[in-house]
Amino acid sequence: MADPRRFELDELVNRPGTYFNPQTEVVVVVDDSPELDSEIFNMEEYEGADWVLISDETPVDEARRDELLERFQAAHHPVHDEEADEHIDDEEDDEYEDHGRD
């Protein structure tokens, strides 16, 4: 069963919420509540995939964002990776063998 909290970029842009990409460490906030007069754009120039930069500023309450991230961290525990544990165990065994040769 797929994780209900994982989304591809093309899926999340149509679903309001706050998203985090663990590889890029980028947070994306999707808010569909604002309305902008579409008459300011010549719609013939824009395709469905085009985006318009409105501002370089980030209109997000940083304290609220941090609170949401902390709440998510508290509710979700790290994924246990058995292969990583085996790799660490192998390194520790090698370390003990090296010390035995001295």
pLDDT in tens, 60-77: 888 998 999 899 989 887
Instruction: Give the C-alpha separation, 86 to 84, whole Å.
Output: 5
Please tell me what DSSP assigns to residue 80.
P
pLDDT in tens, 6-34: 888 888 888 899 999 999 999 988 888 88
Does pLDDT of 79 surpass 80?
A: no
Q: Give me the amino acid identity at 56.
A: D
The pTM of this model reads 0.60
pLDDT band, residue 88 (cuts 50/70/90): low
Cα 93 off chain centre by: 36
| 28 membership: H or E segment, kind and range | strand 26-30
